[in-house]
Chain A
């Protein structure tokens, strides 16, 4: 069943701007992961943050996790047209990965 909810559902930004999206979840987790999906394609793993971590960076990506609020955020800095995609958060517990509904990001050139 769907665990996470993402906000906003859709985001349109200008190239070079930052994009921030949020994810909330309901139950305890081992880790939280973010994925990107280009239209009609499979999911690409972006970053994983464990339940005992608060912040993680990978290139232009910054992820935060607040387990007390059961929420996470993904920041993409200096966005590019190639970042146009849907972004999903997914929570992991007992070998199961449960996805949120996703945020569709459009980066305008």
Chain B
């Protein structure tokens, strides 16, 4: 089935050690998003791609970077994770009907 796949499901990283989260989609959607969701909070948009055009939210920390090498894949790089970066990271794509398809998320723990 066409879907959005996030790997890994759970990621543990050390304080300050760079970490990369990955997302792939088989939907061939132009727009891909990365959201951060902390416990009991709303998902917060970090950035999105429209094709190769990268759009960063004004309040996204510089510590967070993203790459989209092709339509199918998108990566979230956290250069120096802090304890406050522990969260669920959600990848999503947007279809022509404006509905979003979310992956199952990667839960990041920083130790």
Contact = CB atoms under 8 A, between A and B. Distances in A.
Interface of A: 1-2, 30-31, 33, 35, 40-45, 48, 88, 90, 92, 95-102
Interface in B40-79: 41-45, 48, 50, 55, 59
B104 A99 contact: no
Contacts of B59: 1
Nearest to B88: A40
Given A1-B59, A42-B90, A96 B45 contact: yes
Given A2-B42, A2-B44, A97-B45, A43 B99 contact: no
Dominant secondary structure of chain A at its interface with chain B: strand
Nearest to A95: B31
B97 A48 contact: yes
Dominant secondary structure of chain B at its interface with chain A: strand
Contacts, number: 57
List of 3 A-B pairs having minimum Cβ-Cβ separation, nearest first: A99-B42, A43-B102, A42-B102
Contact of B98 (A40, A92, A100): A92
B100 A102 contact: no
Interface string B69-95: 000000000000000000010101010
B101 interface: yes
A88 B98 contact: no
A101 B99 contact: no
